[in-house]
Structure 1
Amino acid sequence: MKRILLNNALEAWESAISYADDIMNGMTTLKYRKNFVASLHNATELFIKQRMLDTGDHSVCEKIRANHDPDRKLQDAFNAATDLNEFFLNLLPTDAEKCHSANYSFICKKTDNLFSTYYEENLQDKKIVNTALATLKDLRNDETHFFIDKWTFLKESEFVQLYNFMIVFCKILQEYDLLPFWGIPSGEYEKLDFDKDELKSFCYKDALTSSDLFKEISDVLEDGVDLSCGEDSAFSVSQAIMQCIYQSQPKREIEFDKLWALVETAMHYEMIFISNIKVEETEDGIVEKQCSYLNVDKGK
């Protein structure tokens, strides 16, 4: 049986795991928080809908509008289908466009039944799943429809909740054969596993200072770094730090985006700051930006 949503779901799940790991390693800018929430929301929606398809739950698809299907042939064919994966797999593209899947709020209400056999042995996990799905819905709604603050979106307590939910959800995915492995994965499937220790608490700032890369940045900044360009953006600061690292370690490989995220977070917490910025005008009216220096305050 070809499960039509599974590949898409696995890609989203892998992405959610990757962003969760990045956040744990101190990359806590809005980019990483948003992408974590979006990926996890997408993964849960696709996995739940795939489970609905597997069980023959026709409510996975909202009623096809009459004006799109005036003779009801498509609706009748859908109602009569006993294998929904097969039905959608063989659907013509023009007919597929007429079918709209159920919304997130609706499918989340189905999980008590969809995961019932798992809950028989793990009743305590039902609340974890239901509350996390509700949090995901609210976060995604805020992120797409309302104003969000750059540094308060996805509070630390919410990250803990969603991280621990992923531990449970990974077990559920294995229970219903929604992951391409059972037990301990190997090779290409290792990146799809989320067999982690439960988080009791989490602090974005502590994640930053515990990061190995931030410790390396701190060592580089111990005596200050020349910022001769005079720019004080996190991007420019990151470039200066990267250049300094490469000068001392030419073969060192660092992902610039990750270093940039750490620097931006550290500047937000005033752990990296710029001093000695001077702007002067010459007799010719040319503005000269004097050398600036980056420093790190590990004690903040």
Structure 2
Amino acid sequence: MHEVHIYLDNPKTGIHHIARSFEHIDLSLNEDINVNVYHTRNYGINVEVFPILCSIINELRAKGTTVNLNFELPPGCHQLSYASRMDFLMTLGLEYEYNKKRHNGSSRFIEIQKVRPGAHGYDGDLAAVLQNNLKMTADEAYDPAFMLSELICNMGIHSNSENGAYIYCQGYPNRGLVEMHIADSGIGVTNSMRKNEKYKNSCDSDLLNLALQFGEGSGEGRGHGLYFVSEFLRRNKGYFHILSGSKGIIIDNGVESEYKIQNYQGTVIHLRIPIQCGIRVDAIMDEQGYEL
């Protein structure tokens, strides 16, 4: 049986830490896995760890692997109440008694939701959901809705995940931003691009950078989704983080950085989108001569 140990004591523990926790496992062996999550000090937990955990664990389960998830918590720890309220624990198959009155969608978040495999978009009016749940105006919701729809479409077309993807959103009006998380554990951006003959011998590092350029892709889509999302956030001083294959790229306040891991088979994206933006996504599309 495989053992995975994840430590959440540091509130900076994020996407790449979770991905690295599973690197040593040979998933082709199809052995049972114990995932042990430690939170021994009563600090806050970085919310971005939960979508990737839901994706990895439920992808393994969809492929027939038995995954046992165990949380080790300090006495009186209340940090999992938030995870329960956002439906992360239910999605992971855990029962947790959340005693506080459950909030409805007016609390400016969209609980984690599963996107079915092969989806070409969100099931419903995403802009209306953002307006209702995150208390945004129609104008404020337009660009975030477009970007999340593009990412959902990308993952539906390219990921080849047996379990689909997971999305989660939360609005922070006092900080003037919306956070969005989307994660799948399919074949990843880089392996998808290798379906294109001209990229079949390219390395992960080159391919992930190419994926953020206009018109580049596997040849199965239009090759613009990641470009529009990353370019919008680059110009508006937002935050864009993508991890796929052996590389992660972060664009934060217009500054780009990269990091390496051994491998993450799927794709995880984390966005922080300014609600008030000087440059709209329509303007970026116009530059490229692109129309919806």
Q: TM-score normalized by structure 2?
A: 0.28
Task: Decide which structure has the larger Cα Rg and report it.
Answer: 1
Structure number with the higher helix fraction is 1
More strand by share: 2
